[in-house]
Amino acid sequence: MQPMAHRLGELAETLGLSVEGDAALELTGLAGLEDARADELSFATGPRYAKAFAASAAGACIVPPDFESQGRSVLRSRAPYADFARAIPIFEPRAAPAPGVHATAVVASDATLADDVSLAAYVVVGGRAEIGARSRLHPHVTIYPNVVIGADCEIHSGAVVREGVRLGDRVVVQSCAVVGGEGFGFAATAGGKRTRIPHHSAVEVGDDVEIGSNSTIDASHPGEPRRGRSSSRTWIGNGVVIDNGVHVGHGVAVGEGTTLCAHVALGGSTTVGRYVTFGGASAAGNSLDVADGALIGGMTGVVSDVEPGQQVLGFPAVERRLFGRISVAWKKLPELLHRVRRIERQLGIDRE
């Protein structure tokens, strides 16, 4: 496809930014400072990019209000990276699926479809399910019975939403994510055998949530803690973003605005506060409390409660700065053993 050209002045207007320099400049794409060509728009977020900005071949850049323009064409922005993000769809528009229900979609007769929904080929919608206005379901999405999906959601091919799950508005579910699969919990019978605890209390997902490809969010059972809410269900708050391959166990609550990076695993009945970040491949055990604003580092294993705003790293997780000091010392461990042996020899201490 031929890229479409946009004049810098038009871009400024579309993005609501002021322009300095050549407003007639034609741009055909976007790139980082090091890679951008003369017909590409780039961005710099602050003074530490001044050198890369000076060396860049970019035709124009989005820069902060007080950034030295060095005589180049710039757009002024109080959030250059966010405005660069807003410029992407101008250069690389995405075709939204057309509204309508494909002839091959199998929709239960008692399901409710709001206006302008888009149900692609081979979408299946179960009994008494409700799909909100303008929500788009890509091919091969399965919606089990009694699911409620809000407005302006997008659900990608292969995703599965299990019975009774509620999704808010503007929720994005990537491919092969499974929302509401049966939680993993067992009890011992009087005879000592393992029996399944039915985990069918459906998951509740807030507004503006994103759930990554191949992630799983499990249903709970009614004996899970309610945490002051009216139900004990697995709960994902508004604005939570979940990357690929993440596991959220039965009865977990994840507070507003929290971030779960790729391959995170949260054990059953754990509570995660608001604006928490779990780094890639980190995990938390069962029935823990991770408070608001906590930062869990990558590959970290949380085995006890985490305080508000606490930053932890390692396994078992310790305070972040302590982890840094431990890591330095840890690398010197073999040497430390030798030093202690030398001291013992000097003191005539027998090795056990």
Identify residues 117-146 at the interface with its own copies (CB under 8 A). 120-122, 124, 138-140, 142, 144-145
Q: How many residues bind its own copies (CB under 8 A)?
A: 123
Identify residues 187-216 at the interface with its own copies (CB under 8 A). 187-190, 194-198, 200-201, 210, 212-216
Minimum Å distance from CB 22 to its own copies?
Answer: 21
Tallying the residues shown for the chain, one arrives at: 352
Contacts of 138 (CB under 8 A, 6+ apart): 97, 120, 123, 154, 155, 156, 157, 175
Query: How far does CA 281 lie from the centroid of its chain?
Result: 13
250 included as an active-site residue:
yes
**175 lines the binding site for its own copies (CB under 8 A):** yes
Query: How far does CA 15 lie from the centroid of its chain?
Result: 25
**92 lines the binding site for its own copies (CB under 8 A):** yes
Of 7-15, 19-27, 51-59, 296-304, the window that binds its own copies (rule: CB under 8 A) is: 296-304
Minimum Å distance from CB 192 to its own copies?
Answer: 9
Residue with tokens 């970019």: 58
Minimum Å distance from CB 196 to its own copies?
Answer: 7
**26 lines the binding site for its own copies (CB under 8 A):** no
Q: Which residue in 163, 140, 153 sits closest to 113, CA to CA?
A: 153
Identify residues 224-263 at the interface with its own copies (CB under 8 A). 224-226, 232, 239, 241, 243-245, 247, 249, 257, 261-263
- Toward its own copies, which CB reaches closer, 48 or 94? 94
Q: Which residue in 272, 269, 209, 211 sits closest to 243, CA to CA?
A: 211
**28 lines the binding site for its own copies (CB under 8 A):** no
**Residue choice 43, 49, 53, 67 for contact with its own copies (CB under 8 A):** 43
Cα within 13 Å of Cα(292), Cβ side? 3
Token pair, residue 224, equals 């899970």
- Toward its own copies, which CB reaches closer, 115 or 335? 335
CB-based burial, 53-83: b 16+ in 10 Å, e otherwise: beebebbbbbbbeebeeeebbbbbbeebeeb
Draw the binding track, 311-350, toward its own copies (x: CB under 8 A; -: no contact): ---xxx-x---x--xxxxxxxxxxxxx-xx-xxx-xx-x-
Minimum Å distance from CB 257 to its own copies?
Answer: 7
What is the secondary structure of 250-292 as a DSSP string? TT-EE-TT-EE-TT-EE-TT-EE-TT-EE-TT-EE-TT-EE-T
Identified catalytic residue from 6, 156, 199, 250: 250
Minimum Å distance from CB 309 to its own copies?
Answer: 17
First-last CA distance in the chain: 75
Residue with tokens 């890591």: 327
Q: Is the dihedral of CA 259, 265, 269, 270 positive or negative?
A: negative
**15 lines the binding site for its own copies (CB under 8 A):** no
**169 lines the binding site for its own copies (CB under 8 A):** no
Minimum Å distance from CB 279 to its own copies?
Answer: 8
Phi, psi of 127 (to 5 degrees): -60, 140
- Toward its own copies, which CB reaches closer, 141 or 151? 141
Which are the catalytic amino acids?
250
